[in-house]
Amino acid sequence: MRVLVIGSGGREHALLIGLSKDPSVTELHAGPGNAGTSSVATNHPVDLASSDAVVSLAQSVAADLVVIGPEVPLVLGVADALRDAGFATFGPSAAAAQIEGSKAFAKDVMAAAGVRTAHAEVVDNPAKLDAALDRFGPTWVVKDDGLAAGKGVVVTTDRAVARDHAAECLESGHPVLLESFLDGPEVSLFSLVDGTTVVPLLPAQDHKRVGDNDSGPNTGGMGAYTPLPWLPDEVTRQIVDEVVTPVAAELAARGTPFSGLLYAGLAIGADGPAVVEFNCRFGDPETQAVLALLKSPLGQALNATATGTLDQLPPLEWEQGAAVTVVVAAENYPGKPRTGDVITGADGAGVLHAGTARNADGQVVSSGGRVLAVVGTGSDLAEARAQAYERISTVKLPGSHFRTDIGKAALDGRITL
Protein backbone atom coordinates (compact mmCIF):
# COMPACT_ATOMS: atom_id res chain seq x y z
CA MET A 1 0.00 0.00 0.00
CA ARG A 2 1.44 3.36 -1.12
CA VAL A 3 0.40 6.09 1.32
CA LEU A 4 0.54 9.87 0.87
CA VAL A 5 0.32 12.01 4.02
CA ILE A 6 -0.67 15.66 3.51
CA GLY A 7 0.77 18.15 6.00
CA SER A 8 4.02 19.44 7.42
CA GLY A 9 3.80 19.24 11.20
CA GLY A 10 4.63 17.00 14.14
CA ARG A 11 1.30 15.24 13.76
CA GLU A 12 2.21 14.24 10.20
CA HIS A 13 5.69 13.09 11.25
CA ALA A 14 4.06 10.91 13.93
CA LEU A 15 1.59 9.49 11.39
CA LEU A 16 4.41 8.67 8.97
CA ILE A 17 6.45 6.93 11.67
CA GLY A 18 3.39 4.92 12.68
CA LEU A 19 2.66 4.03 9.06
CA SER A 20 6.27 2.97 8.50
CA LYS A 21 5.82 0.23 11.10
CA ASP A 22 2.85 -1.29 9.26
CA PRO A 23 4.01 -4.23 7.10
CA SER A 24 1.20 -3.56 4.62
CA VAL A 25 2.65 -0.10 3.86
CA THR A 26 5.25 -0.41 1.11
CA GLU A 27 5.86 3.23 0.18
CA LEU A 28 5.46 6.54 2.02
CA HIS A 29 5.14 10.05 0.61
CA ALA A 30 4.68 13.39 2.37
CA GLY A 31 3.35 16.60 0.91
CA PRO A 32 5.01 18.89 1.73
CA GLY A 33 6.49 17.25 4.85
CA ASN A 34 9.38 18.78 6.80
CA ALA A 35 13.06 18.21 7.50
CA GLY A 36 12.28 15.18 9.68
CA THR A 37 9.72 13.40 7.53
CA SER A 38 12.32 12.96 4.78
CA SER A 39 13.90 10.21 6.90
CA VAL A 40 10.79 8.01 6.59
CA ALA A 41 9.08 9.30 3.44
CA THR A 42 9.70 11.04 0.13
CA ASN A 43 8.85 14.72 0.51
CA HIS A 44 7.03 16.55 -2.30
CA PRO A 45 6.37 20.30 -2.48
CA VAL A 46 2.63 20.97 -2.68
CA ASP A 47 0.11 23.64 -1.82
CA LEU A 48 -1.95 21.63 0.66
CA ALA A 49 -4.85 24.11 0.37
CA SER A 50 -5.15 23.45 -3.38
CA SER A 51 -7.39 20.52 -4.31
CA ASP A 52 -5.91 20.39 -7.81
CA ALA A 53 -2.35 20.32 -6.51
CA VAL A 54 -3.04 17.59 -3.95
CA VAL A 55 -4.93 15.43 -6.46
CA SER A 56 -2.09 15.86 -8.95
CA LEU A 57 0.44 14.76 -6.34
CA ALA A 58 -1.66 11.72 -5.39
CA GLN A 59 -1.82 10.76 -9.06
CA SER A 60 1.91 11.22 -9.57
CA VAL A 61 2.81 8.86 -6.69
CA ALA A 62 -0.06 6.46 -7.49
CA ALA A 63 -1.30 6.63 -3.90
CA ASP A 64 -3.46 3.78 -2.61
CA LEU A 65 -4.39 5.86 0.44
CA VAL A 66 -4.22 9.60 1.12
CA VAL A 67 -4.19 10.78 4.74
CA ILE A 68 -4.96 14.47 5.31
CA GLY A 69 -3.44 15.79 8.53
CA PRO A 70 -4.37 19.48 8.96
CA GLU A 71 -7.81 21.03 9.22
CA VAL A 72 -7.45 23.70 6.52
CA PRO A 73 -7.44 21.39 3.47
CA LEU A 74 -10.31 19.39 5.00
CA VAL A 75 -12.49 22.47 5.48
CA LEU A 76 -11.60 23.58 1.94
CA GLY A 77 -12.80 20.28 0.44
CA VAL A 78 -9.53 18.63 -0.54
CA ALA A 79 -10.84 15.25 0.67
CA ASP A 80 -13.87 15.63 -1.59
CA ALA A 81 -11.66 16.28 -4.61
CA LEU A 82 -9.49 13.25 -3.83
CA ARG A 83 -12.52 10.97 -3.49
CA ASP A 84 -13.97 12.35 -6.72
CA ALA A 85 -10.66 11.43 -8.38
CA GLY A 86 -10.95 7.87 -7.09
CA PHE A 87 -8.55 7.92 -4.14
CA ALA A 88 -9.24 6.22 -0.80
CA THR A 89 -8.98 9.21 1.53
CA PHE A 90 -8.69 9.48 5.30
CA GLY A 91 -10.37 12.74 6.24
CA PRO A 92 -13.92 14.11 6.21
CA SER A 93 -15.75 15.98 3.48
CA ALA A 94 -15.90 19.77 3.61
CA ALA A 95 -19.50 19.51 4.83
CA ALA A 96 -18.61 17.18 7.72
CA ALA A 97 -15.42 19.16 8.51
CA GLN A 98 -17.66 22.08 9.51
CA ILE A 99 -17.77 20.34 12.91
CA GLU A 100 -14.44 22.17 13.36
CA GLY A 101 -14.67 24.85 10.68
CA SER A 102 -17.73 26.47 12.25
CA LYS A 103 -18.25 26.41 15.99
CA ALA A 104 -21.84 27.55 15.47
CA PHE A 105 -22.45 24.52 13.22
CA ALA A 106 -20.92 22.25 15.88
CA LYS A 107 -23.26 23.70 18.50
CA ASP A 108 -26.25 23.05 16.26
CA VAL A 109 -25.18 19.43 15.70
CA MET A 110 -24.66 18.87 19.42
CA ALA A 111 -28.05 20.36 20.26
CA ALA A 112 -29.75 18.05 17.76
CA ALA A 113 -27.77 15.05 19.07
CA GLY A 114 -28.52 15.81 22.73
CA VAL A 115 -24.85 16.25 23.63
CA ARG A 116 -23.88 18.28 26.69
CA THR A 117 -21.86 21.41 25.93
CA ALA A 118 -21.50 24.98 27.12
CA HIS A 119 -24.27 27.53 26.65
CA ALA A 120 -23.22 29.75 23.76
CA GLU A 121 -24.17 32.84 21.80
CA VAL A 122 -22.90 33.91 18.38
CA VAL A 123 -22.10 37.61 18.03
CA ASP A 124 -21.67 38.93 14.48
CA ASN A 125 -22.23 42.64 15.10
CA PRO A 126 -19.90 44.81 17.23
CA ALA A 127 -22.91 46.81 18.41
CA LYS A 128 -24.24 43.73 20.18
CA LEU A 129 -20.96 42.73 21.82
CA ASP A 130 -21.18 44.53 25.18
CA ALA A 131 -24.71 43.35 25.94
CA ALA A 132 -23.71 39.79 25.08
CA LEU A 133 -20.61 39.95 27.29
CA ASP A 134 -22.81 41.07 30.18
CA ARG A 135 -24.71 37.78 29.92
CA PHE A 136 -21.52 35.78 30.60
CA GLY A 137 -18.77 35.75 33.22
CA PRO A 138 -17.22 35.80 35.77
CA THR A 139 -15.04 33.64 33.49
CA TRP A 140 -15.42 34.53 29.82
CA VAL A 141 -14.76 32.08 26.98
CA VAL A 142 -14.41 33.86 23.63
CA LYS A 143 -13.87 31.83 20.45
CA ASP A 144 -13.20 32.82 16.86
CA ASP A 145 -15.98 31.04 14.95
CA GLY A 146 -13.59 30.04 12.16
CA LEU A 147 -10.33 28.10 12.07
CA ALA A 148 -7.64 29.57 14.31
CA ALA A 149 -5.04 26.81 14.63
CA GLY A 150 -5.86 26.28 18.30
CA LYS A 151 -5.12 29.90 19.22
CA GLY A 152 -8.48 31.56 18.57
CA VAL A 153 -9.77 30.96 22.09
CA VAL A 154 -9.40 33.28 25.07
CA VAL A 155 -10.44 32.11 28.54
CA THR A 156 -10.20 34.95 31.06
CA THR A 157 -11.70 36.49 34.19
CA ASP A 158 -10.86 39.95 32.78
CA ARG A 159 -13.82 41.35 30.86
CA ALA A 160 -11.61 43.84 29.01
CA VAL A 161 -9.37 41.06 27.71
CA ALA A 162 -12.43 39.12 26.57
CA ARG A 163 -13.83 42.19 24.83
CA ASP A 164 -10.55 42.97 23.07
CA HIS A 165 -10.31 39.45 21.64
CA ALA A 166 -13.92 39.48 20.52
CA ALA A 167 -13.53 42.90 18.89
CA GLU A 168 -10.39 41.74 17.09
CA CYS A 169 -12.23 38.73 15.66
CA LEU A 170 -15.16 40.88 14.55
CA GLU A 171 -12.85 43.44 12.93
CA SER A 172 -11.24 40.63 10.93
CA GLY A 173 -14.67 39.69 9.59
CA HIS A 174 -15.20 36.61 11.79
CA PRO A 175 -18.21 36.11 14.07
CA VAL A 176 -17.36 35.23 17.66
CA LEU A 177 -18.80 32.64 19.99
CA LEU A 178 -19.28 33.49 23.66
CA GLU A 179 -19.56 30.43 25.90
CA SER A 180 -20.23 29.66 29.51
CA PHE A 181 -17.12 28.31 31.24
CA LEU A 182 -16.92 24.54 31.68
CA ASP A 183 -15.14 23.49 34.85
CA GLY A 184 -13.20 20.28 35.39
CA PRO A 185 -10.13 18.62 33.86
CA GLU A 186 -9.99 18.44 30.06
CA VAL A 187 -9.72 15.30 27.95
CA SER A 188 -8.92 14.80 24.28
CA LEU A 189 -10.52 11.68 22.85
CA PHE A 190 -9.74 10.68 19.26
CA SER A 191 -12.07 8.28 17.48
CA LEU A 192 -11.84 6.67 14.07
CA VAL A 193 -15.27 7.25 12.54
CA ASP A 194 -16.73 5.71 9.39
CA GLY A 195 -20.28 6.93 9.12
CA THR A 196 -21.80 5.55 12.32
CA THR A 197 -19.00 3.13 13.28
CA VAL A 198 -16.84 4.57 16.09
CA VAL A 199 -13.48 3.16 17.26
CA PRO A 200 -11.95 5.21 20.11
CA LEU A 201 -8.21 5.60 20.64
CA LEU A 202 -6.55 6.24 24.01
CA PRO A 203 -7.69 9.40 25.81
CA ALA A 204 -5.02 12.07 26.21
CA GLN A 205 -4.63 15.47 27.82
CA ASP A 206 -3.18 18.51 26.06
CA HIS A 207 -1.48 21.48 27.76
CA LYS A 208 -2.65 24.60 25.93
CA ARG A 209 -1.07 27.44 27.91
CA VAL A 210 2.45 28.43 26.96
CA GLY A 211 3.94 28.36 30.47
CA ASP A 212 4.31 26.01 33.42
CA ASN A 213 1.31 25.72 35.74
CA ASP A 214 -0.97 26.74 32.87
CA SER A 215 0.30 30.32 32.75
CA GLY A 216 0.39 32.67 29.78
CA PRO A 217 -1.61 32.72 26.55
CA ASN A 218 -3.16 29.79 24.72
CA THR A 219 -1.10 28.02 22.07
CA GLY A 220 -1.63 25.21 19.59
CA GLY A 221 -0.52 22.85 22.38
CA MET A 222 2.72 22.60 24.37
CA GLY A 223 2.61 18.92 25.29
CA ALA A 224 0.40 15.94 26.05
CA TYR A 225 0.34 12.58 27.79
CA THR A 226 -1.60 9.35 27.58
CA PRO A 227 -3.30 7.41 29.09
CA LEU A 228 -4.92 9.40 31.89
CA PRO A 229 -4.45 7.68 35.26
CA TRP A 230 -7.26 9.73 36.80
CA LEU A 231 -9.88 8.92 34.12
CA PRO A 232 -11.86 5.70 34.74
CA ASP A 233 -12.51 3.47 31.72
CA GLU A 234 -16.23 3.85 32.25
CA VAL A 235 -15.97 7.61 31.66
CA THR A 236 -14.21 6.97 28.34
CA ARG A 237 -17.04 4.62 27.39
CA GLN A 238 -19.54 7.28 28.47
CA ILE A 239 -17.85 9.81 26.15
CA VAL A 240 -18.09 7.36 23.25
CA ASP A 241 -21.71 6.46 23.98
CA GLU A 242 -23.05 9.91 24.89
CA VAL A 243 -20.91 12.22 22.76
CA VAL A 244 -19.04 10.71 19.81
CA THR A 245 -21.59 8.14 18.66
CA PRO A 246 -24.60 10.53 18.79
CA VAL A 247 -22.67 13.24 16.90
CA ALA A 248 -21.57 10.74 14.24
CA ALA A 249 -25.18 9.57 13.92
CA GLU A 250 -26.46 13.14 13.62
CA LEU A 251 -23.95 14.00 10.89
CA ALA A 252 -24.93 10.84 9.00
CA ALA A 253 -28.62 11.68 9.39
CA ARG A 254 -27.96 15.10 7.84
CA GLY A 255 -26.48 13.46 4.77
CA THR A 256 -22.95 14.51 5.70
CA PRO A 257 -21.46 11.35 7.26
CA PHE A 258 -18.08 11.81 8.92
CA SER A 259 -15.18 9.70 7.65
CA GLY A 260 -11.82 10.14 9.34
CA LEU A 261 -10.67 11.17 12.80
CA LEU A 262 -13.22 12.89 15.03
CA TYR A 263 -11.54 14.67 17.95
CA ALA A 264 -13.68 15.48 20.97
CA GLY A 265 -12.26 17.96 23.45
CA LEU A 266 -14.17 17.70 26.72
CA ALA A 267 -14.31 18.99 30.26
CA ILE A 268 -15.16 16.37 32.88
CA GLY A 269 -17.20 18.20 35.49
CA ALA A 270 -19.46 17.17 38.35
CA ASP A 271 -22.29 16.45 35.92
CA GLY A 272 -20.11 14.34 33.62
CA PRO A 273 -18.45 15.02 30.27
CA ALA A 274 -19.32 18.19 28.36
CA VAL A 275 -17.89 19.12 24.97
CA VAL A 276 -15.52 22.08 24.74
CA GLU A 277 -14.86 21.63 21.01
CA PHE A 278 -14.74 19.17 18.15
CA ASN A 279 -11.92 18.91 15.63
CA CYS A 280 -12.09 17.11 12.31
CA ARG A 281 -8.57 15.62 12.39
CA PHE A 282 -5.84 14.21 14.62
CA GLY A 283 -4.82 16.72 17.30
CA ASP A 284 -1.28 17.99 17.68
CA PRO A 285 0.52 17.26 20.06
CA GLU A 286 -1.74 14.49 21.41
CA THR A 287 -1.20 12.39 18.27
CA GLN A 288 2.50 12.05 18.97
CA ALA A 289 1.83 10.50 22.39
CA VAL A 290 -1.17 8.36 21.40
CA LEU A 291 0.46 6.79 18.34
CA ALA A 292 3.61 6.03 20.33
CA LEU A 293 1.58 3.37 22.20
CA LEU A 294 -0.34 1.89 19.26
CA LYS A 295 0.56 -1.75 18.55
CA SER A 296 -2.01 -2.40 15.80
CA PRO A 297 -1.02 -1.60 12.19
CA LEU A 298 -1.83 2.08 11.67
CA GLY A 299 -2.12 1.90 7.87
CA GLN A 300 -4.71 -0.84 8.05
CA ALA A 301 -6.79 1.14 10.57
CA LEU A 302 -6.71 4.34 8.49
CA ASN A 303 -7.43 2.43 5.29
CA ALA A 304 -10.41 0.63 6.87
CA THR A 305 -11.81 4.02 7.87
CA ALA A 306 -11.24 5.47 4.41
CA THR A 307 -12.78 2.51 2.58
CA GLY A 308 -15.88 2.10 4.76
CA THR A 309 -14.80 -1.16 6.38
CA LEU A 310 -14.08 0.07 9.91
CA ASP A 311 -16.64 -2.35 11.32
CA GLN A 312 -14.40 -5.21 10.11
CA LEU A 313 -11.23 -3.89 11.78
CA PRO A 314 -9.90 -6.11 14.61
CA PRO A 315 -9.91 -4.44 18.05
CA LEU A 316 -7.00 -2.03 18.45
CA GLU A 317 -4.10 -3.19 20.62
CA TRP A 318 -1.98 -0.88 22.76
CA GLU A 319 1.39 -1.06 24.48
CA GLN A 320 1.26 -1.06 28.26
CA GLY A 321 2.60 2.01 30.01
CA ALA A 322 2.47 5.69 29.14
CA ALA A 323 3.72 8.24 26.63
CA VAL A 324 4.54 11.93 27.05
CA THR A 325 5.09 14.56 24.35
CA VAL A 326 6.87 17.85 25.07
CA VAL A 327 6.85 20.61 22.45
CA VAL A 328 9.97 22.70 21.83
CA ALA A 329 8.83 26.13 20.66
CA ALA A 330 10.72 28.92 18.95
CA GLU A 331 11.57 32.21 20.62
CA ASN A 332 8.53 34.54 20.89
CA TYR A 333 5.96 31.76 20.27
CA PRO A 334 2.91 32.02 20.44
CA GLY A 335 3.61 35.49 19.08
CA LYS A 336 5.56 35.90 15.85
CA PRO A 337 8.23 33.20 16.20
CA ARG A 338 11.86 33.66 15.33
CA THR A 339 12.80 31.30 12.50
CA GLY A 340 15.91 30.25 10.61
CA ASP A 341 17.93 29.14 13.65
CA VAL A 342 20.06 26.01 13.31
CA ILE A 343 18.87 23.06 15.42
CA THR A 344 21.19 20.36 16.74
CA GLY A 345 20.11 17.05 18.27
CA ALA A 346 16.96 16.91 16.15
CA ASP A 347 17.77 13.46 14.78
CA GLY A 348 17.64 11.71 18.15
CA ALA A 349 15.23 8.98 19.21
CA GLY A 350 11.73 10.24 19.90
CA VAL A 351 12.30 13.65 18.30
CA LEU A 352 9.52 14.50 15.84
CA HIS A 353 9.78 17.49 13.55
CA ALA A 354 7.05 20.11 13.18
CA GLY A 355 8.28 23.59 12.16
CA THR A 356 11.57 22.58 10.54
CA ALA A 357 13.24 22.94 7.16
CA ARG A 358 16.74 22.68 5.71
CA ASN A 359 18.85 25.71 4.80
CA ALA A 360 21.14 26.04 1.77
CA ASP A 361 23.87 24.15 3.65
CA GLY A 362 21.54 21.23 4.42
CA GLN A 363 21.30 22.08 8.12
CA VAL A 364 18.01 21.62 9.98
CA VAL A 365 16.59 25.03 10.92
CA SER A 366 13.45 26.29 12.61
CA SER A 367 10.63 27.35 10.28
CA GLY A 368 7.62 27.75 12.59
CA GLY A 369 6.42 28.35 16.12
CA ARG A 370 6.18 24.79 17.41
CA VAL A 371 9.46 23.40 16.12
CA LEU A 372 9.82 19.90 17.57
CA ALA A 373 7.84 17.42 19.65
CA VAL A 374 9.90 15.12 21.85
CA VAL A 375 8.25 11.85 22.90
CA GLY A 376 9.12 9.61 25.82
CA THR A 377 7.57 6.27 26.73
CA GLY A 378 7.81 4.11 29.82
CA SER A 379 6.10 1.60 32.04
CA ASP A 380 4.25 4.45 33.75
CA LEU A 381 3.82 8.20 33.53
CA ALA A 382 6.90 8.91 35.67
CA GLU A 383 9.17 6.86 33.38
CA ALA A 384 7.67 8.39 30.24
CA ARG A 385 8.18 11.92 31.59
CA ALA A 386 11.75 11.16 32.58
CA GLN A 387 12.58 9.81 29.12
CA ALA A 388 10.94 12.75 27.33
CA TYR A 389 12.88 15.33 29.33
CA GLU A 390 16.13 13.34 29.05
CA ARG A 391 15.71 13.34 25.26
CA ILE A 392 14.83 17.04 25.16
CA SER A 393 18.06 17.88 26.97
CA THR A 394 20.05 16.87 23.86
CA VAL A 395 18.14 19.27 21.58
CA LYS A 396 19.64 22.71 21.07
CA LEU A 397 17.74 25.60 19.48
CA PRO A 398 18.71 29.20 20.34
CA GLY A 399 15.98 31.05 22.22
CA SER A 400 13.68 28.04 22.38
CA HIS A 401 11.39 27.24 25.28
CA PHE A 402 9.30 24.33 26.54
CA ARG A 403 7.11 23.48 29.49
CA THR A 404 8.73 21.45 32.27
CA ASP A 405 5.47 20.21 33.79
CA ILE A 406 3.81 18.12 31.07
CA GLY A 407 1.85 15.38 32.86
CA LYS A 408 3.16 16.44 36.28
CA ALA A 409 -0.21 17.36 37.80
CA ALA A 410 -1.51 13.87 36.98
CA LEU A 411 1.66 12.27 38.29
CA ASP A 412 1.35 14.19 41.56
CA GLY A 413 -2.30 13.19 41.95
CA ARG A 414 -3.53 16.76 41.57
CA ILE A 415 -6.17 15.88 38.96
CA THR A 416 -9.26 14.19 40.30
CA LEU A 417 -12.88 13.77 39.27
User: What CATH topology corresponds to 2-93?
Assistant: Rossmann fold (3.40.50)
In 3-state terms, the chain is what percent helix, strand and coil (to 5)? Answer: 35, 30, 40
Task: Measure the CA–CA gap between 132 and 126, rounded to whole angstroms.
Answer: 10
The CA–CA distances, whole Å, from 151 to 123, 181, 182, 188, 207 equal 19, 17, 18, 16, 13
pLDDT digits (tens, 9 = 90+) for 109-135: 999 999 999 888 999 999 999 999 999
Q: What superfamily would CATH give domain 183-312?
A: ATP-grasp fold, B domain (3.30.470.20)
- Reported confidence tier of residue 63, pLDDT bands at 50, 70, 90: very high
| For residue 146, pLDDT beyond 80 | no
pLDDT digits (tens, 9 = 90+) for 293-311: 999 999 999 999 999 999 9
Which of these CATH numbers, 3.30.360.10, 3.90.600.10, 3.40.50.2300, 2.60.40.10, describes 322-411? 3.90.600.10
Domain ranges of the chain: 2-93, 119-179, 183-312, 322-411
2-93 and 119-179, same CATH topology: no
pLDDT digits (tens, 9 = 90+) for 183-221: 899 999 999 999 999 999 999 999 999 999 999 998 999
pLDDT digits (tens, 9 = 90+) for 235-258: 999 999 999 999 999 999 999 999
User: What CATH topology corresponds to 119-179?
Assistant: Dna Ligase; domain 1 (3.30.1490)
| For residue 151, pLDDT beyond 70 | no
pLDDT digits (tens, 9 = 90+) for 5-28: 999 999 999 999 999 999 999 999
Task: Pick the closest to residue 187 from 261, 110, 267 (CA basis).
Answer: 267
Task: Pick the closest to residue 41 from 8, 72, 73 (CA basis).
Answer: 8
Task: Measure the CA–CA gap between 296 and 300, rounded to whole angstroms.
Answer: 8
Q: Which of 83-92, 129-138, 154-163 ranks highest by mean pLDDT?
A: 83-92
| For residue 259, pLDDT beyond 70 | yes
Task: Measure the CA–CA gap between 259 and 316, rounded to whole angstroms.
Answer: 18
